[in-house]
Amino acid sequence: MDKHEVLKQLVDMSHYLGDPSRTFAILGEGNTSARIDADTMFVKASGTCLATMGETDFLEVSISRATEILDDMNAGDADVAAALRASLCDPSEKRMPSVETMMHALLYRHYPEYGFIGHTHPVSTNALMCSIHAQEAAMGRLCPDHIVVMGHKSVFVPYVDPGLVLAREVRERVARYVEEEGVLPKAMLLENHGLFSLGATAKAVMNITEMAEKMSKILLGAYSAGGPRFMSGADIRRIDTRPDEKYRQNTLGQEK
C-alpha cells in the first residue's frame, strides 16, 4: 500500500472510531496510528479529535527514535517531551504527537505484523475496566464470535502512569503474552483507561473495537444476571483452531 492510501485508510478508521453514535471516544480522547514502512508511522497529533481529523492532523514519526527513550531509566517528563519532538520526521513541525506515541511505536517496532492501531475509551468497556472485575472481564471469552474477532485471550494492563511508564509496562506484557501464547494479541485492555485494538488492517482494528464493546455490554448484563459463565479453555482452543473459523477471520478482513 502506498503512503497516501495508508493515510486515507487511517483517516477513515479514525472517523469510524470517533463517530459520536458509537460512544468509543469523545473530544480529544483516544489515538490512532498506521505503519508506513519498517521505521515510520503516522500518529494522531496531540489535541486533535478522532471524529473530525483530516490528513494533516497525522504526524510522521520515526519508530526507532520514538522507542529509544524506553530504555533510559532516568528519563523524566521533560525528556519524554524532547524525545517525542525528536521522533518527528519533519524537524520544522511545531505540533506534538500523541502522548501514547511511544506505545504505538514499540508495537510496530517489535511486531511487523501490525499495520494499524486504534485506542479508544468505549463506555461499556470502561465500565468494566473501572470495576473490581476488570482483569477477569479482560481475559474471559463469552462466545465463539468473541474469539474469532478478538483472539483467545487479551492482554490486561493494570493502571500505571500514561506515557512512558505505560509504554514500558505494555512492552513487557505483550512480550510475555507472545512468548506464552505463541500468537500476537489483538486487543489490550487497560485498567481505569480503555482499549487498544491491534490489527494488520484498518478493518481489523474497527472489528476488534466493535466486538470488544459489544462483549462488554453482554458481560455487564451477565454480571447483573448473577455473574458471567465464561467459556472453558478447551472450548476456546477448539474455536481458535477450527479451519472454518480461520476462514471467517479471513473473510472479516482481519488478516492482510
Nearest alpha carbon to residue 163 among 95, 69, 60, 33:
69
Q: Which is nearer to Zn ion, 185 or 194 (CB)?
A: 194
Kind and range of the H or E run holding 138: helix 134-139
Q: What is the DSSP letter of 75?
A: -
Give the residue from 118, 107, 209, 194 showing the smallest Cα distance to 157: 194
Give the footprint of Zn ion on residues 217-246 (CB under 5 A).
Answer: none
Q: Count of residues binding Zn ion (CB under 5 A)?
A: 1
Residues 153 and 139: their CA atoms lie apart, in Å, by 5
The smaller minimum CB distance to Zn ion, of residues 194 and 199, is found at 194
Closest CA to 101 of 45, 185, 179: 45
CB of residue 126 vs Zn ion: minimum separation in angstroms? 10
Give 69 or 188: the residue with its C-beta nearer to Zn ion. Answer: 188
189-208 residues near Zn ion, rule: CB under 5 A = 194
Nearest distance, CB of residue 193 and Zn ion, angstroms? 6
Residue with cell 503474552: 177
SS3 assignment, position 105: helix
Distance of closest approach, residue 119 Cβ to Zn ion, in angstroms = 6
Nearer to Zn ion, 151 or 194 (CB): 194
Stretch that binds Zn ion, among 68-76, 109-117, 187-195, 231-239 (CB under 5 A): 187-195
Instruction: Tell me whether residue 115 or residue 194 sits nearer to Zn ion (CB atom).
Output: 194
Closest separation between CB of residue 121 and Zn ion, Å?
Answer: 6
Smaller CB distance to Zn ion: residue 46 or 248? 46
DSSP state, 8?
H
Nearest residue by C-beta to Zn ion?
Answer: 194
Distance between terminal CA atoms of the chain?
A: 11
Smallest separation (angstroms) from Zn ion to the CB of 191: 12
Longest alpha-carbon distance in the chain: 57
Binding positions for Zn ion, rule: CB under 5 A: 194
